[in-house]
A and B are shown apart, each in its own frame.
Chain A
Amino acid sequence: NAGVTQTPKFQVLKTGQSMTLQCAQDMNHNSMYWYRQDPGMGLRLIYYSASEGTTDKGEVPNGYNVSRLNKREFSLRLESAAPSQTSVYFCASRFDRDSGNTIYFGEGSWLTVV
């Protein structure tokens, strides 16, 4: 049972470099999310995709872009990385955005920007 798979697990970037975090889910979920988790703070929503073909900004979208490539895949891109983007990133999915549905998380991607 793969669930939500995200890559890479760890990445170190230099300021100004770009990179893409990949996420895929095999649960036939419609809604997918990208969060960041910083020490002492709750997870904060960066972007989400309520369904294939749509994406919307969350609470902290600045400095990020996303692509919902198909129903399974939702990628997060940092065009010009900044030290403030050092964080743990979680991809998540759920069947649809009905609040009663469980949201499933990936294992996280640890990103350090130096």
Chain B
Amino acid sequence: KNQVEQSPQSLIILEGKNCTLQCNYTVSPFSNLRWYKQDTGRGPVSLTIMTFSENTKSNGRYTATLDADTKQSSLHITASQLSDSASYICVVSAVNNNAGNMLTFGGGTRLMVKP
């Protein structure tokens, strides 16, 4: 069964500090991995996408890494801001097949940035 596990479940950091969120997956055959940000009371919004051949991708203060061999990804947030307080969801796509959509969602990491 395809699974996506995220850690930690929750995290509290001080404004200006860095943090790293982890995602481990057992999705096969792997197509891509996305990180989504979900603000409280809102829908998830895509931050970045990683394909099999990519091992690092940045989007502003967010940097995602992917190790396809160990099936791990991380999301590093630099110089955190209060607006970074949200849940971060790792979503792994399997290669398309006739069964249709093949997205597996992690349970998310809830980040709180305190002043």
Chain A residues with a Cβ under 8 A of chain B: 4, 31, 33, 40-45, 48, 50, 56, 58, 90, 92, 97-100, 102-108
Contact = CB atoms under 8 A, between A and B. Distances in A.
Contacts of A99: 31-32, 93-96, 102
Interface of B: 4, 9, 31-32, 34, 41-46, 49, 51, 89, 93-96, 100-108
Given A98-B96, A99-B93, A105 B101 contact: no
B43 A107 contact: yes
24 contacts: A33-B101, A40-B107, A41-B107, A42-B4, A42-B108, A43-B105, A45-B101, A45-B103, A48-B100, A50-B100, A58-B101, A90-B43, A92-B43, A97-B96, A97-B100, A99-B31, A99-B32, A99-B93, A102-B46, A103-B46, A104-B46, A105-B44, A107-B42, A108-B43
